[in-house]
């Protein structure tokens, strides 16, 4: 006996059609009109959209950062993801300086083991190529372990930042292997100088986190990393958390020249802004201290357009939650000590659907593309994930397009004592979520088993 999701509108990047979805065990057995219900458990999806489970390719679970550890571990982060209609995350294993990548891989697998509620993959964040670049060979080992994307930080000097030589050497290797380099693009050393000037002038409050990280510092880094990729023979690059028009234009310019450059933005940059969300009294702005920072509202329309026009291929969250009461407050009196990051994995699908599809900024099909299909393709797991088709994993969201929901910290699953989207009203929400055929969310409640999520071995994408 299988599960037959009957009578919904099945959506893919290519189109939408009334169809039934038959699930057999962990995979989809068939998608089509009028599948015979005999012998199957039937889920009535009339009036619903049936979507491939969301894939959030940018999360930081259980991550040591800023003198503390992100507030959601693999259990809580993936539980929250599932409730919001996301059935897979790709998290970052961080290589510690002086230690091989293989060690970081083991450490992050252990963090997820017994805790992940949905499937997960890992990017490897490279901080150190070792003496004589000996750990460049770890790149090959990581690819063999199912890591097809490597992350570098051009920001956070003395913590995670790598120099241009390291980027170049890494890219030479990823180019040979066909792997992807994901880039946090900001000019870390110049930002550091601006930060020191601000502190010396007595500007210590959280708003100065945003004011000391200008858009041009992001755009410059995008420009430079594109040049480094060209120098390395055309290595594939994916710019993470593009936050402003200036940086997005650098991505577009590279694409116009035919270079293999892709990018994502994140929900916060699409719906929040300095004008609307910062400048609050006291220390409240610390809730919005993430990197890149919130930008002026003028950036939102160009970013939405870039998502619609495929200049940016993906919308992710950069979910990196810290509690206000005992974590963000580490930076009272000095904004540089505020742990950088915000919560969001639970709300991505709701916000992109409501502010994207309902607001007429993108089609339903593009919504599915930027939240599921393109992530699966770019990060090497398509068609196993990211599409509802025979043979694919049965990661399915039954989405109620009429469900009204108000985002509130008090009712969220993420482990922060605030929401950066507090009070946002959305229409459209996950009603049922299936992960590899198993019902894991029903009516906003997680009903799956903790630890059932599996590591996904990703392939280096072709082409
Ligand atoms: O503020 C952020 N984004 N924290 C997580 C680390 C990063 O830069 O992605
Ligand atoms: Zn980053
Ligand atoms: Zn991040």
Does the beta carbon of 379 sit less than 6 angstroms from any atom of ligand 1?
no
Ligand 1 centroid distance, CA of 351 (Å): 20
Task: Say if ligand 1 is within 6 A of residue 3 CB.
Answer: no
Rounded to the nearest whole angstrom, what is the distance from the C-alpha of residue 243 to the centroid of ligand 1? 12
pLDDT above 70 for 463: no
Residue nearest ligand 1's atom 8 by CA: 291
Q: Is 340 in the pocket of ligand 1 (CB under 6 A)?
A: yes
| pLDDT for the residue numbered 21 | 98
Is any atom of ligand 1 closer than 6 Å to the C-beta of 350?
Answer: no
With a cut of 80, say whether residue 156 has pLDDT above it: yes
What pLDDT shows up at residue 368? 99
- pLDDT tens, 248-260? 999 999 999 999 9
Q: Is 291 in the pocket of ligand 1 (CB under 6 A)?
A: yes
Q: In terms of C-beta density within 10 A (0-12 exposed, 13-18 middle, 19 or more buried), how is residue 131 classed? A: exposed
Q: What was the pLDDT predicted at 462?
A: 72
Q: What's the confidence (pLDDT) of residue 313?
A: 99
Q: 22 C-alpha vs ligand 1 centroid, how far in Å?
A: 39
**What band does 461 get if pLDDT is binned at 50, 70 and 90?**
confident
Average per-residue pLDDT for the chain:
98
201 CA → ligand 2 middle, Å: 27
From 57, 272, 291, the mutation candidate for ligand 1 (largest count of ligand atoms within 8 A of CB) is 291
If one residue of 152, 319, 341, 343 were mutated to test the ligand 1 pocket, choosing by the most ligand atoms within 8 A of its CB, it would be 341
- Give the strands of the sheet with 54-59, arranged side by side: 54-59, 86-94, 119-125, 149-153, 180-184, 236-239, 261-266, 314-316
Distances in Å between the alpha carbon of 416 and those of 66, 136, 140, 316?
Answer: 16, 37, 37, 19
Residue 424: left (phi > 0), alpha (psi -120 to 50), or beta?
Answer: beta
Note the ligand closest to the C-alpha atom of 242.
2
The alpha carbon of 89 and the centre of ligand 2 are apart by a number of angstroms equal to 16
The 10 Å Cβ neighbour count of residue 58 is 26
Distances (CA, A) of 128 to 136, 140, 364: 9, 15, 42
Please, what is the end-to-end C-alpha distance for the chain in angstroms?
Answer: 39
Collapsing DSSP to helix, strand or coil, 66 comes out as coil
Q: Is 60 in the pocket of ligand 1 (CB under 6 A)?
A: yes
Find out whether the beta carbon of 56 lies less than 6 Å from any atom of ligand 1. Answer: no
Nearest atom of ligand 1 to the alpha carbon of 290: 1
Average pLDDT rounded to a whole number, residues 423-437: 98
pLDDT in tens, 324-370: 999 999 999 999 999 999 999 999 999 999 999 999 999 999 999 99
Residues 6+ apart with CB under 8 A from 389: 28, 31, 383
Which bound ligand lies closest to the C-alpha atom of 58? 3
Mean per-residue pLDDT, 187-216? 98
Q: How far is the CA of 318 from the centre of ligand 3 (A)?
A: 4
pLDDT score recorded for residue 9: 98
CA of 117 to the centre of ligand 2 (A): 24
Q: Tell me, what DSSP letter sits at residue 296?
A: -
Assess whether the C-beta atom of 331 lies below 6 angstroms from ligand 1. no
Average pLDDT over residues 160-189: 98
For the residues 116-142, what does the mean pLDDT come to? 98
Task: For 393-462, give the secondary structure using H, E and C.
Answer: ECCEEEEEEEEEEECCHHHCCCCCCCCCCCCCEEEEEEEEEEECCEEEEECCEECCCCCCCCECCCCCCC
- Atom index in ligand 1 nearest the CA of residue 58 equals 9
Give distance in angstroms: CA of 15 to centre of ligand 3. Answer: 31
Q: For residue 191, what pLDDT is reported? A: 98
Task: Assess whether pLDDT exceeds 80 at residue 107.
Answer: yes
- Give percent of the chain above pLDDT 90: 99
Per-residue pLDDT tens for 55-68?
999 999 999 999 99
**How far does residue 58's CA lie from ligand 3's centre (Å)?**
6
Q: Is 290 in the pocket of ligand 1 (CB under 6 A)?
A: yes
If you write DSSP's letter for every residue of 307-366 in order, what string do you get?
Answer: HHTTSS-EEE--B----TTTTGGGGTT-GGGSPP-B--TTTHHHHHIIIIIITTSS-HHH
pLDDT tens profile 431-447: 999 999 999 999 999 99
User: What does the radius of gyration of the chain's CA atoms come to, in whole angstroms?
Assistant: 21
CA-closest residue to ligand 1 atom 9: 318
């Amino acid at each position: 006996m299988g599960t037959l999701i009957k009578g919904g509108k099945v959506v893919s990047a290519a189109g939408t059609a009334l169809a039934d979805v038959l699930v057999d065990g962990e995979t989809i057995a068939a998608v089509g009109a009028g599948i015979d219900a005999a012998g199957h458990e039937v889920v009535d999806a009339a009036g619903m959209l049936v979507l491939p489970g969301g894939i959030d390719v940018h999360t930081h679970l259980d991550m040591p950062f800023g003198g503390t550890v992100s507030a959601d571990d693999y259990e809580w982060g993936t539980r929250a993801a599932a409730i919001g209609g996301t059935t897979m995350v790709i998290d970052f294993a961080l290589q510690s300086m002086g230690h091989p990548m293989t060690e970081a891989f083991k450490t992050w697998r252990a963090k997820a083991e017994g805790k992940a509620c949905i499937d997960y993959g890992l990017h490897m964040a490279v901080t150190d190529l070792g003496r004589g670049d000996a750990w460049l060979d770890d790149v090959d080992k990581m690819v063999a372990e199912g890591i097809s994307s490597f992350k570098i930080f051009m920001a956070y000097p003395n913590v995670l930042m790598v120099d241009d030589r390291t980027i170049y050497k890494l890219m030479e290797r990823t180019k040979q292997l066909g792997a992807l380099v994901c880039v946090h693009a900001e000019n870390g050393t110049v930002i550091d100088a601006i930060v020191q000037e601000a502190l010396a002038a007595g500007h210590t409050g959280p708003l100065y986190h945003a004011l000391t990280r200008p858009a041009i510092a992001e755009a410059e880094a995008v420009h430079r990393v594109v040049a480094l990729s060209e120098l390395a023979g055309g290595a594939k690059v994916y710019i993470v958390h593009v936050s402003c028009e200036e940086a997005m234009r650098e991505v577009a310019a590279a694409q116009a020249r035919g270079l293999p450059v892709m990018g994502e933005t994140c929900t916060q940059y699409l719906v929040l802004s300095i004008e609307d969300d910062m400048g609050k009294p006291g220390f409240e702005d610390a809730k919005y201290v993430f990197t890149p920072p919130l930008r002026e509202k003028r950036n939102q329309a160009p970013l939405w357009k870039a998502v619609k026009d495929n200049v940016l291929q993906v919308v992710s969250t950069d979910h990196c939650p810290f509690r206000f009461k005992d974590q963000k407050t580490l930076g009272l009196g000095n904004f540089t000590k505020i742990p950088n990051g915000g919560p969001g994995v639970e709300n991505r699908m709701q916000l992109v659907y409501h502010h994207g599809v309902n607001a007429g900024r993108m089609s339903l099909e593009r919504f599915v593309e930027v939240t599921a299909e393109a992530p699966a393709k770019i990060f090497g797991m398509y068609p196993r994930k990211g599409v509802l088709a025979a043979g694919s994993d049965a990661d399915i969201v039954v989405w109620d397009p009429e469900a009204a929901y108000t985002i509130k910290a008090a009712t969220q699953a993420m482990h922060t004592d605030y929401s950066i989207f507090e009070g946002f009203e959305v229409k459209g929400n996950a009603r049922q979520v299936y992960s590899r055929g198993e019902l894991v969310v029903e009516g906003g409640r997680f009903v799956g088993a903790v630890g059932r999520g599996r590591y996904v071995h990703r392939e280096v994408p072709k082409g």
